[in-house]
Amino acid sequence: PIHRRGGTPRPESLGPLSLDAGGMVTQQPQPYDDGVLWCTDDGTLVVIERGETDWQRNEFYLDAQPAGRPRVHDGGIFVATAEGDLVRIDPLDIAGGGLRRTWRAFLDARPEGGLFVDGERLVVSLGEDGIAVFSTKTGEQLGRTWRSGRIVAVAAGRIWLVDRVGRLVSLDLETGLVRDRFCLGGFTFPVANHSTDRLILASPAGTIVSLKARK
């Protein structure tokens, strides 16, 4: 954009801007559309995005502490809270923008470890109480398993997790049944990948592998 004063064009400053965070923020902000979003530690979701003539700021109050970072998928923002709520938030298609809650689901245990998405399925880790799967469109619960572990990826129709003894285990996304068990060998640092469908493993020596599904 160009600012004009007395007919003389002046380029927009590229210097950093100071923004009001809306509270304490300990989780990394993330891209949203052509802007950015973050969630404060007390549950205020803040979205900064470009409007027709200027940047606009919208906020949504979760009324509870977030359990992990929000997950952006298919235009929606998904957030789990420490109180056991799971919500989808979407932008309002009106002048000035805004945010609205599209649906709300209740979890039967405290969520942890962040959210994973595969197509129209939202996967939520419930720690020692297992894993739940919800529809991204309606919030309907599609599946539930009591198998626990640290989820590291959702890919190829499977939930990939590290179990209590350090094995890499895959669960069928449809049934929740165990499909595979692997010894990780030297790759003892599996990386939780919330952004893509790749399974990422790392070793103490610094070797990193990124695995994708075979077609």
Q: Tell me the per-residue pLDDT of 152-183, one tens digit each, with 9 for 90 and over.
A: 999 888 999 999 888 999 999 999 999 999 99
Do residues 62 and 81 make contact, with C-beta atoms less than 8 angstroms apart?
Answer: yes
Distance of CA 166 to the CA centre of its chain: 24
pTM of the model: 0.86
**Residue 10: band (very low, low, confident or very high) from pLDDT cuts 50, 70, 90:** low
Specify which of 13-17, 47-51, 173-177 reaches the highest per-range mean pLDDT: 173-177
18: number of Cβ within 10 Å: 5
Mean of the pLDDT values across residues 25-29?
89
Residue scoring higher pLDDT (200 or 197): 200
pLDDT at 11 over 90: no
Amino acid in the structure at residue 147: R
The rounded percent of the chain whose pLDDT value lies above 90 is 60
Dihedral over Cα of 208, 152, 80, 65: its sign: negative
Among 2-16, 24-38, 124-138, which is the least confidently predicted range? 2-16
Between 97 and 49, name the one with better pLDDT.
49
Confidence of residue 8 (pLDDT cuts 50, 70, 90): low
pLDDT, position 152: 94
Of 102, 178, 173, the closest CA to residue 142 belongs to: 173
pLDDT-derived band at 6, boundaries 50, 70, 90:
low
What per-residue confidence (pLDDT) applies to 2?
45
Determine which helix (DSSP H) or strand (DSSP E) holds 201, and give its type and residue range. Answer: strand 199-202
